[in-house]
Amino acid sequence: MMTLSLNLPRLIGHRGAAAYAPENTLASLHEARRRGAPWVEFDVKLSRDDVPILMHDASLKRTTGSDRLVAETSWADIQVLDAGSWKGAAFVGEAVPSFAAAIDCLGGLGLGANVEIKPCPGREAQTALAVVEMLQHRWPASLPTPLLSSFKDEALAAARAAAPSFPRAILIDELADDWRQRAEAVDAVGVNTNGGKLTAARAAEIKAAGYLLSVYTINDPAVAVALLALGVDCIITDAPDVTAKAIAS
């Protein structure tokens, strides 16, 4: 297992602070900061012309109203879309941020990040390479080392090959017995998983093996407290203020 120091906090804002602002936007990063998140998680994929952007879905439809696929749309066409109105009148005109703009925003806010590499189908390695290249050139030295994660092991393998020093976490909805094999294959330091499906036995196994354990998406304060009691290191939440209050006591 690689040993580069990773200062993972106990709490990470999900897609920024998705309970309060349009997910994966700069407004959401600001909201996360305002509500006490030390780090944020967000999703990065590539536009048709290979610009890394913050976006969860393969389609632009849900968050921008545009019925097109991200992988088939140029950055010029994406950056003029409104990614805020769906979340309410206060966010009309909020843009889809480039990964570069998001990094600059994090630098200004002093926020760390779990960068989820979320490739469009078939673009696993390409997306990972764009992410690590951007981090190498733009990640502020003042910020803690970011954590890379992905549901796609192929993306993590490509990230490792290109930039082995960025710590990685496997990202798995429901863990199976092969989790350790998958973690070792990409030299991961962490396991990120669906907190609603994590068993006490699996949490104990992961911690005994020396991995950092993070869970998403936990918005119920009592559930967050219970997961920490199982040995979970980090709670990824849409509502960082609520979760921070619950886990502080």
Question: Which residues belong to the active site?
Answer: 14, 56
Which of 26, 37, 40, 43 is close enough to bind Mg ion by CB under 5 A?
43
Task: Give the interface segment with Mg ion, choosing from 43-51, 122-130, 199-207, 231-239 (CB under 5 A).
Answer: 43-51
Task: Give the residue, chosen from 31, 94, 116, 233, that forms a contact with Mg ion under the rule CB under 5 A.
Answer: 116
The minimum distance between CB 246 and ligand G3P, in angstroms, equals 19
- Cα first-last separation, the chain: 33
* Cβ pair 113, 78 in contact under 8 A: no
**Closer CB to Mg ion, 43 or 238, in the complex:** 43
Residue 185, CB-side half-sphere exposure with 13 Å CA sphere: 13
Distance CA 89, CA 84 (A): 8
Contact assessment for residue 138 and residue 108, using Cβ atoms and an 8 Å cutoff: no
Task: Give me 55's structure tokens.
Answer: 């976006």
Q: Of ligand G3P, Mg ion, none, which one sits near residue 238, judging by CB under 5 to 8 A according to partner kind?
A: none
Number of residues in contact with Mg ion, rule: CB under 5 A?
2
User: How near is the Cβ of 23 to ligand G3P at its closest, in Å?
Assistant: 9
Query: Which of ligand G3P, Mg ion, none interacts with 192 (beta carbon under 5 to 8 A by kind)?
Result: ligand G3P
Contacts with 50 (C-beta within 8 Å, 6 or more apart), sequence order? 126, 130
Minimum distance, C-beta of residue 56 to ligand G3P, in the bound complex (Å): 6
Q: Does 23 bind Mg ion (CB under 5 A)?
A: no
Residue 123: which of 178, 58, 188 has the closest Cα? Answer: 58
In the complex, least distance from residue 43 CB atom to Mg ion, rounded to whole angstroms: 4
Across the chain, the runs of DSSP E, i.e. the strands, are 11-14, 39-46, 52-54, 112-117, 147-150, 168-172, 190-194, 212-216, 234-237
Residues that bind ligand G3P (CB under 6 A): 14, 41, 43, 56, 116, 149, 171, 192, 216-217, 236
Closest-CA residue to 194 (of 210, 179, 208, 209): 179
**Sole residue written with tokens 């970011």:** 146
Cβ atoms of 37 and 87 closer than 8 Å: no
Nearest distance, CB of residue 117 and Mg ion, angstroms: 10
Residue 233 lies near Mg ion (rule: CB under 5 A):
no
Q: Measured from the CB atom, is 89 or 179 closer to ligand G3P?
A: 179
Which residue minimizes CB distance to ligand G3P? 216
> What residues line the site for Mg ion (CB under 5 A)?
43, 116
